[in-house]
Structure 1
């Protein structure tokens, strides 16, 4: 019964959705719940799937939205089919492997951690002109988490578990604090520091976009004594929160993602991306060759812990690809593949997805990641140089996809990283369908700015 405290956010969301609107519940309850409360605690509900905090809120918003005729602002696009097929294939693989009694839990996860976040973001953000509000709420939540996480990195104590574990006995005990450079790697409410690194990378890129777009006041009335501007203060907090995860894969992902944003801010965007592509080939191909040589020596011959980790991840592919090919169409399900004792942890989400759910689900997922990123880049290049946010948002979203693409090659994508990815996808899809309308931070549509013709003359009096 103690775990029923997990329904409190859902109850609050129901009140707001009924008295105001489901979209209001999405912004005011779902986003803070997703980002500030752990995903590994579940409400024990005998006979039905056990929801997490954020799944309970998503369920309520979905029900109220259906009672009111569906998600307001929704427009169909081809990506809807890809996401639906992906979710269906994930459920089907577990259904074939374990039967319905186990597969129903995964079906519930697909419904309320993949599909509902995708359709909520697609319906509630861009159609209502709420892109700034959405990004500000995400950044504000992650700034709070970052500040709380300083306690964890200093003392090795996760405050989220200290407060919530008494209400969920026996849950979340498998998530242990790990250490690097003699300091605790902060996980916050995200289970593991690697998941926290992905979430913080996303928040940092959104904050840089907000700062570039002038979406924050220079001074905040609650902190008038700050010696620096409030947007810079938030950027420092998010940078610190990102750093203290000590997630090197996410650090690398965030660094490389910055090149997309930098190129997208150039006036000659196409030329800038061509330069980036050339550099990627000139530098990336030799670097990849050197990494393969570094990682293929075997763990027994590794010179240090870093090389041993690289060797382990290289060996994972060699060990598990043949097993995945035995059931390559629909996969083995969540846990039914023959485990290899010397490689118990599969620290590569692409390999794990192929192993669990087969190549069709794998290709659908790749299209969501890589296909959406490429479409955003093409869309952004075609847009005029942004007076405020429209064009730059496409490159910010694309940079987050690149961050995901790189980061999950070194870690399992779980917890809040899943609904955040599909919310980003729904937002990006509706943004591209809006033809890149440029909103002011207040939410109003920016007037078009007349541009002078190339090499034109001014009339001077």
Structure 2
């Protein structure tokens, strides 16, 4: 049964040939990524575990669109995507073996680099940004509706197939449903509640953008989808991602407002004002230990504080290449490394951590410049702020939790989306005059030598100049 994972390879190839690259990506690949759990996989000889959505992407990687996105549409963000994978491969080569390095290159090609380039092409050349949003939002809304049963009853419908699946690693998560605050934390088709929450953190501002930009014909439908993305995040009851989600939504709300400069200035002033009492609270936590903690939330904060101090020392011992994926050191009883930056640094060194920080901060600052520009048309300007919210919320969230598939793939797709918008802006495709210019008939040109004369009395057919938009 586990060999059914390979079936999407043939379905993707058939859809690309029959319906086109963008249509197949939006209609088949995205729903498969979100709806089918990654812990259902196939262990083939000489390759890492193959999930359904990895298999589905294989035909997408070997198409001319990937080369166009990599070469013709090159952006400086590409370099740091490649640098991330290069550091991972070098770390595995030194710490493990050539086979391990080869497998990591395989995973990065199909989980990170490939989707990043595919998203660049689909948004910039395929002009299907709206479709990407509606597909992601629609599938996550469906997950939220299905997960109402899990939230109340504590039984995950997506887990039922694990009983008959021949390859199931209980260490990958997706086994237990955790109670909290009188309900059960949903995880849907994801390996853990925090990964489910991170997916909603990334999509909540995108749903708000779609509802506000008229992507949906019905305003009620758009607002209903926004509600379900918010409620899906709430049902995970994961505190770090919930804060990250509100940060993401808040950045979008401030950025798309007409008073965005004043709102950001007020937010900066309020943050500076609150930093004074926050510093006293932090110093109080610094003096506590897990044994003296008075509540679960205090114990969680102290655990993460100890985590940083303990494992930063380990990273400093091997800063450039880390310890490799399978050789992680353990300090005391801290098996769970609830900080993606620490985990990446331990695995592969500071190179990939720096690459991720540059990807996140660089794309946020570049898109903020576009978002503040008065020359940018309203729709892509607001989309820039939605992406800023999703990327910033992700970076905040993964400082409190680990990072896993498919949200890791989603993150690199979001960076690819940002690269596409920035490339389009550089080419002048996001200007107001491009969106708002009236399409007027071309003036009739003089007859070229050798052309047959025009039929007398026949009106000249006006030809319209195509609008250059990417959404």
TM-score by length of structure 2 reads 0.86
Is the contact between residue 315 and residue 349 of structure 2 (CA under 8 Å) also seen in structure 1?
Answer: yes
Report the secondary structure of 1:335's partner residue: coil
Number of the residue aligned with 1:304: 295
Equivalent in 407, 414, 435 of residue 417 of structure 1: 407
What is the alpha-carbon distance in structure 2 between the residues aligned to residue 18 and residue 72 of structure 1? 21
In structure 2, the gaps of 5 or more residues are 439-471
SS at structure 2 position matched to 1:423: helix
Map of 1:39-78 to 2, 5 A cutoff? 39-65=38-64, 75-78=73-76
Q: 1:117 to 1:69 in 2, by over 3 A?
A: closer
Distance in 2 (CA, whole Å) between partners of 1:378 and 1:72 is 24
User: Is 2:258 the partner of 1:260?
Assistant: no
Kept in 2, the 8 Å contact 1:74–1:119? The answer is no
State the partner residue of 2:365.
374
Counterparts in 2 of 1:131 and 1:97: CA distance versus 1, 3 Å: same
- Whole-Å separation in 2 of the counterparts to 1:8 and 1:431: 33
- What is the correspondence of 1:66-105 to structure 2 with a 5 Å cutoff? 75-105=73-103
Pairing 1:34-433 to 2, within 5 Å after superposition: 34-65=33-64, 75-163=73-161, 165-172=163-170, 174-175=172-173, 176-218=176-218, 229-284=220-275, 286-294=277-285, 296-384=287-375, 386-387=377-378, 389-433=379-423
Deviation, 1:254, is 1.5
| Aligned-residue offset at 1:317 | 0.9
Deviation string, structure 1 residues 102-134 (Cα, Å, up to 9, x no partner): 333322211111100100001112322211111
Q: Distance in 2 between matches of 1:6 and 1:248?
A: 34
Shift of 1:357: 1.3
Is contact 1:153–1:185 with CA below 8 Å preserved after alignment?
yes
- Distance change (3 Å), C-alpha of 1:267 and 1:334: same
Answer yes or no: is the 8 Å Cα contact 1:165–1:171 preserved in 2: no
Query: Residue 22 of structure 2 contacts residue 128 of structure 2 at CA under 8 Å; is this kept in 1?
Result: no
Task: Tell me the alpha carbon deviations over residues 45-67 of structure 1, each in whole angstroms, 9 at most, x when there is no partner.
Answer: 1233331111111112112447x
Query: In structure 2, the residue corresponding to 1:190 is in which secondary structure?
Result: coil
Please list the CA deviations of residues 252-289 of structure 1 after superposition, one character each: whole Å capped at 9, or x if unmatched. 11112233222212324334322222222222453254
Q: What's the CA shift for 1:217? A: 1.6
Greater CA radius of gyration, 1 or 2?
A: 2
Consecutive unaligned residues of structure 1, counting only runs of 5 or more, are 220-228, 450-461
Relative to the length of structure 1, the TM-score reads: 0.88
CA distance in structure 2 between the aligned counterparts of 1:438 and 1:20, rounded to whole angstroms: 28
Q: Which segments of structure 1 move beyond 6 Å, counting only runs of 4 or more? A: none
